[in-house]
Amino acid sequence: MRLTSRFPRRLRVPAAFAAAALFALTLGATPSPAATGPATTSAGVVSYLTSITGNHTVSGQHNREPNSSPAQWTDKVHDITGVYPGMWEGDFLYSADDIANRQTMVDEAEAEWAAGSLVGLMWHECPPTMAEPCSWSDVESKLTSDQWTQLVTDGTSLNTAWKSELDRIVPYLQQLKDAGVPVLWRPLHEINDSWSWWGGNADSARLYQITHDYLVGTKGLTNLVWVWSVKDDSTSTVAGYYPGSQYVDVVGLDSWNANFPSTSWYQTMQSIAAGKPIALAEVGALPTPAELTAQPKWAYFSDWAEYLTNSNSDDAIKATYYDYQVLHRGDITLPAGIRAGAASGAGSRAASGAASG
């Protein structure tokens, strides 16, 4: 039996507009520094997602380029519903302009956490055969069999180049660690699909393992919650891309071939997860209340950037966001009573409710 939120279904809409009014009152207020209170660990986030599984789903929104405006789609959710998503996601990206604005994006990540949202990050990265910046066609390029062998062999030139590429984002992830921000980190996404240089290869799972071991073991980034995500292509082959339970904290599905996962995909993801939280890591059409009732174990969903308005009407967005099963910013309480961000205020747009430019 599904547990209800502290807000009955009939009260969700008024509660949402009450939240909007509260944010509106803070507009123009003098920003206060981000709180330096107790921070929740990555394990705390996983524990939280596990605790809500089967009862609630955290709402999430991806914010695609430009990194100079890293909350444009999160703000759009607020414009439509009067509430902010419970999870914000950004992307390190690959173009010169977005690379130049990575700090702006990471500042937003800190601000979102301080304001009470979970934080997610991913990376459409350049292949290790070239230095960044690069083009979208480079992201979609393919490595040869010999290049893959080099890439996953320790000490080779391409293996070293990959670690050097990771070094470009390590300072930003370290900055978030120092600020007490755990990150739902989703590298090498859609790892089973060959559209990207990193996906659809027999060694793709090995590359995920190498990435994990380098960032955690070598660089000490213990604030990362490792999200492994696949595209809804074939349930019969997807398990072959799983790097192993010791490398994964959350098992995610990018549901693009179907607006909402089939029962077969829902069961497959639970089978692979073996008790770990599962998530709709990317969707275009938001899950409806009826769909979340039918598949209650998705711990969160993240709608992909412009698909928020391209694939959903305002009424559909409100129906999902106002449903009692769906949690927003302000609903999330992490272990030991630590609210996401543990903040009383933050020197940012996210905390003040002001729209990003």
The DSSP code sequence of 28-81 is: TPPP-PPP-S----HHHHHHHHHHHTTT-EE-EEE-PSPTTSTTHHHHHHHHHH
Structure letter (DSSP) for residue 354: P
**The pLDDT of residue 159 is above 90:** yes
Sign (positive or negative) of CA dihedral 287, 110, 337, 247: positive
Give the pLDDT of residue 119.
Answer: 98
Q: Which of 110, 190, 291, 306 is catalytic?
A: 190
Separation CA 115–CA 337 (nearest Å): 16
What does the mean pLDDT of the chain come to? 87
**The pLDDT of residue 11 is above 70:** no
Give the pLDDT of residue 59.
Answer: 98
- Per-residue pLDDT reduced to its tens digit, 183-200: 999 999 999 999 999 999
Question: Quick one: angle between helices 72-81 and 12-25, nearest 10?
Answer: 120
The answer to whether residue 282 is catalytic is yes
Q: At 165, which amino acid appears?
A: E
**The pLDDT of residue 357 is above 70:** no
Tell me the whole-structure pTM to 2 decimals: 0.86
Task: Decide if 232 contacts 255 (C-beta within 8 A).
Answer: yes
The answer to whether residue 190 is catalytic is yes
Q: Which of 112, 282, 291, 306 is catalytic?
A: 282
- Per-residue pLDDT reduced to its tens digit, 280-316: 999 999 999 999 999 999 999 999 999 999 999 999 9
- Per-residue pLDDT reduced to its tens digit, 94-107: 999 999 999 999 99
Give the pLDDT of residue 339.
Answer: 61
**The pLDDT of residue 341 is above 60:** yes
Average pLDDT on 70-78 reads 98
**The pLDDT of residue 154 is above 90:** yes
**The pLDDT of residue 33 is above 60:** no
Element (H, E) at 128: none
Element (H, E) at 100: helix 96-100
Number of other residues whose CB lies within 10 A of the CB of residue 144: 9
Average pLDDT on 331-350 reads 56
Give the pLDDT of residue 39.
Answer: 54
Q: How confident is the model at residue 40 (pLDDT cuts 50, 70, 90)?
A: confident
The DSSP code sequence of 172-212 is: HHHHHHHTT--EEEE-S-STT-TTSSSSSSTTHHHHHHHHH
Lowest mean pLDDT among 213-217, 282-286, 352-356: 352-356
Q: Which residues, 6 or more positions from 102, have their beta carbon under 8 angstroms from its beta carbon?
A: 67, 92, 93, 169, 172
Q: How confident is the model at residue 334 (pLDDT cuts 50, 70, 90)?
A: confident
Q: How confident is the model at residue 237 (pLDDT cuts 50, 70, 90)?
A: very high
Give the pLDDT of residue 337.
Answer: 57
> Is 250 or 9 the better-scoring residue by pLDDT?
250
Separation CA 298–CA 325 (nearest Å): 11
Written as six digits, the tokens of 285 are: 């059409």
Token match 């599962």: residue? 278
